[in-house]
Structure 1
Amino acid sequence: MSQQPDQQPGWRARLRHWLMQRARNDRANLRLFVTGAALFFGGLGILLYAEQRLLASLTQELIAAAGLLFAACGAVLATLGYLALSLLRILRFISDDD
């Protein structure tokens, strides 16, 4: 299947190009991982603080929910950063383009 010169590349080619660009930026990937880990542990600290230091109330539940939200967002960011540091580096090494 031949592609016309005036057509845009397919989504697979765009995804591969984006992943290869992301794989070349180790500093940003490490920053993403560290930021995600800090956000995760900060959210975990807020969650533990609400559980152990506050009396049972709506305020405690709202603070615990905020801590859980921070921890979940941090876990997602740290996971993405870690995968970018490890798997995308492997993808970069086995790529035929370079």
Structure 2
Amino acid sequence: MTKLRLRDNLRLRLIRRADNVKQNLIILLIGLGIFLLGFVILILAQFLLLDSLQRDLIALIGLILAICGVIIAAFGYISLSILRIFRFLLTDTKRPDQSHD
């Protein structure tokens, strides 16, 4: 019984996440911005600084930012695309304006 409730709770949370398109787009764009910031830091450290420990640490920070940005952007993209498909497949009720009876 707990598993059934847990599954229904997860299903409702996924549907709510899919319905919040504006927030999902903001998450995607924030992830893109963090990725680009990390990428620029990585490129600047590679080409503008001399070989040193400081350059490697700055490049590591850029790499960490880029990875975090990719993860956040992927979450936003999945919420925008795949969860919308799940919502379409999981909801079995028709809206009143779509009935053709």
Give TM-score scaled by structure 1 length.
0.86
CA distance in 1, matches of 2:93, 2:50: 59
Aligned to 2:81, what secondary structure does the other structure show?
Answer: helix
Runs of 4+ displaced beyond 6 Å = none
Aligned pairs, number: 93
Structure 2 residue ranges without an equivalent (≥5)? 95-101
| Backbone CA RMSD of aligned residues | 1.7
* Equivalent of 2:36 in 30, 36, 41: 41
Instruction: Give the equivalent residue in structure 1 for 2:51.
Output: 56
Once the two structures are TM-superposed, the CA of residue 90 in structure 1 deviates from its matched residue by 1.1
Structure 1 residue ranges without an equivalent (≥5)? none
Instruction: Give the equivalent residue in structure 1 for 2:88.
Output: 93
Give TM-score scaled by structure 2 length.
0.84
Deviation per CA, 1:12-64: give whole Å up to 9, x if none: 22211111110110001000000001111110000000000001111101100
What is the aligned-residue identity percentage? 41
Task: Tell whether 2:64 aligns with 1:69.
Answer: yes
* Equivalent of 1:28 in 9, 19, 23: 23
Q: Which amino acid aligns with 1:65?
A: L
Q: Which amino acid aligns with 1:38?
A: G
Instruction: Give the equivalent residue in structure 1 for 2:97.
Output: none
Q: Which amino acid aligns with 1:13?
A: D
